């Protein structure tokens, strides 16, 4: 089969489109023909070098396609079914997994990180990862959903415990997590303030549900938030940018507010004034992916049309270097999808 592998860490030029052996599925695995694989920032970080990435390596966390073959232990999945893949792997037998907390499993990893991913024509995965999709969802849309919608759902419902009527600040409205978080917050009848880098992205954020939009390059986020909320602040901040926005995110919170973070796009180190944290009784929460039950829950809303993936651009898998370069410029609004 054709696949894209990295044989060394570095820039987009390390991505090599080449022939590799077809995967051989075990009796408890399903062989999938990949029809679409969406990009995430994780692909960029893994390409540049992350602990646990063994070379040569195939990137790609978000996969949609068709079942080619199901192992003999599997009775509920058949060749020809249209599916998407849960973007994570876990042991499925430890106390955390048995309790339904798969993202706390010691062996938890994201597809395309510590294991080969979906930048290829064929992939073999455990049956638990395979989720049939309705005809109303095409492969590009299906591949644009799993990682970002699961991440945003876990952040808002599993960690921040969003309630109707709250005000939510979403950083980076053009990102996959940002787009998902805006829609999920509106699903809970929250008021949403989103940030973006230009007027086009701000308008797109409003189109998918944001009540207010802030230009994070030209406006001071916390000052605009204070104006919008009558100097009260927001209940929840969805943060995944890191040091570039951290101070403004903290200043945007109301007393007793919650900041939940799932990433560090601009770096891993931030400063924190503990006096500000305890005197205003703020909550700082980390969030990592989500559980299988949460994935099925959010997919129910996607399949019903209440939440919608947004696609910015598609590229042939053979043009993956161009796709990575495009993503690194951060000009997109929505997902970038690779098609084998």
The string of DSSP codes covering 89-155 is: E--S-SHHHHTT-GGG-TT-EEBTTTB--SSBSEEEEEGGGEEE--TTS-HHHHHTSHHHHHHHHII
Please provide the size of the chain in residues.
340
User: Average pLDDT of 134-152?
Assistant: 98
Exposure string for 238-254, b = 16+ CB within 10 A, e = fewer: bbbbbebbbebbbbbbb
21 pLDDT exceeds 90?
Answer: yes
| 324 touches 15 (CB < 8 A) | yes
Q: Count CA within 13 A, CB hemisphere, residue 121.
A: 10
Mean pLDDT of the chain: 97
Structure-token pair, residue 123:
């992939």
290 pLDDT exceeds 90?
Answer: yes
Which helix or strand (DSSP H or E) is residue 194 part of? Answer: strand 191-196
> Cα–Cα distance between 262 and 160 in angstroms, integer?
12
Give 36's pLDDT tier (boundaries 50, 70, 90). very high
Structure-token pair, residue 32:
């999938």
Q: Which residues, including other chains, have CB under 8 Å from residue 10's CB and lie 6 or more apart?
A: 47, 48
In the prediction, which pLDDT does 116 show?
Answer: 97
Residue 55, Cβ density class (10 Å: 0-12 exposed, 13-18 middle, ≥19 buried) = exposed
- This prediction has a pTM of 0.96
239 pLDDT exceeds 90?
Answer: yes
User: Average pLDDT of 95-113?
Assistant: 97
User: Could you give the domains of the chain?
Assistant: 2-145+309-339 (3.90.180.10), 149-286 (3.90.180.10)
Residue 81, Cβ density class (10 Å: 0-12 exposed, 13-18 middle, ≥19 buried) = middle
331 pLDDT exceeds 90?
Answer: no
57 pLDDT exceeds 90?
Answer: yes
| 34 touches 58 (CB < 8 A) | no
Nearest to 200 by CA among 47, 331, 320, 20: 331
User: Average pLDDT of 133-143?
Assistant: 97
Give 34's pLDDT tier (boundaries 50, 70, 90). very high
Give 265's pLDDT tier (boundaries 50, 70, 90). confident
In the prediction, which pLDDT does 293 show?
Answer: 98
List, as one string, the DSSP characters of 15-62.
Answer: EEEEE-PPP---TTEEEEEEEEEE--HHHHHHHH--TT-PSSB----E
List, as one string, the DSSP characters of 287-307.
Answer: --S--HHHHHHHHHHHHTTSS
User: Average pLDDT of 99-119?
Assistant: 97
In the prediction, which pLDDT does 330 show?
Answer: 87
Question: Parallel, antiparallel, or unpaired for β 253-261 and 234-239?
Answer: parallel
> Cα–Cα distance between 218 and 272 in angstroms, integer?
24
Provide the percentage of residues in the chain whose pLDDT is more than 70.
Answer: 100
Residue 206, Cβ density class (10 Å: 0-12 exposed, 13-18 middle, ≥19 buried) = middle
161 pLDDT exceeds 90?
Answer: yes
User: Average pLDDT of 160-188?
Assistant: 97
């Amino acid at each position: 089969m054709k696949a894209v592998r990295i044989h060394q860490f570095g820039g987009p030029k390390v991505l090599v489109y080449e022939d590799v052996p077809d995967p051989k599925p075990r009796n408890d695995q399903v062989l999938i023909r990949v029809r679409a694989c969406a990009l995430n920032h994780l692909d960029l970080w893994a390409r540049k070098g992350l602990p646990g990435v063994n070379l040569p390596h195939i990137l790609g966390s978000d996969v949609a396609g068709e079942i080619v073959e199901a192992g003999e232990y599997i009775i509920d999945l058949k060749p020809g079914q249209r599916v998407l893949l849960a973007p994570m792997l876990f042991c499925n037998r430890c106390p955390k997994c048995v309790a339904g907390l798969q993202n706390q499993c010691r062996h938890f990893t994201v597809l395309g990180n510590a294991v080969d991913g979906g930048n290829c024509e064929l992939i073999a995965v455990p049956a638990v990862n395979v989720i049939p999709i309705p005809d109303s969802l095409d492969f590009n849309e299906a591949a644009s959903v799993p990682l970002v919608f699961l991440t945003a759902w876990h952040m808002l419902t599993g960690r921040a415990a969003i309630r109707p009527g709250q005000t939510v600040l979403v950083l980076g409205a053009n990102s996959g997590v940002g787009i998902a978080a805006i829609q999920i917050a509106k699903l809970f009848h929250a008021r949403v303030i989103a940030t973006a880098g230009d007027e086009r992205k701000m308008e797109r954020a409003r189109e998918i549900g944001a009540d207010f939009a802030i230009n994070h390059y030209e406006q001071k986020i916390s000052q605009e938030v204070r104006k919008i909320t009558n100097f009260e602040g927001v209940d929840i901040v969805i943060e995944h940018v890191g040091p570039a926005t951290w101070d403004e995110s903290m200043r945007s919170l109301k007393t007793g507010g919650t900041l939940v973070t799932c990433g560090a796009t601009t770096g891993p180190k931030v400063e924190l004034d503990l006096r500000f944290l305890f005197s205003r009784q703020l909550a700082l929460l980390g969030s990592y992916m989500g559980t299988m039950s949460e994935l099925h829950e959010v997919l129910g809303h996607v399949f019903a049309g209440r939440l919608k993936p947004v696609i910015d651009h598609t590229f042939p898998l053979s043009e993956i270097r161009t796709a990575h370069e495009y993503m690194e410029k951060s000009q997109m609004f929505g997902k970038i999808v690779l098609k084998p």
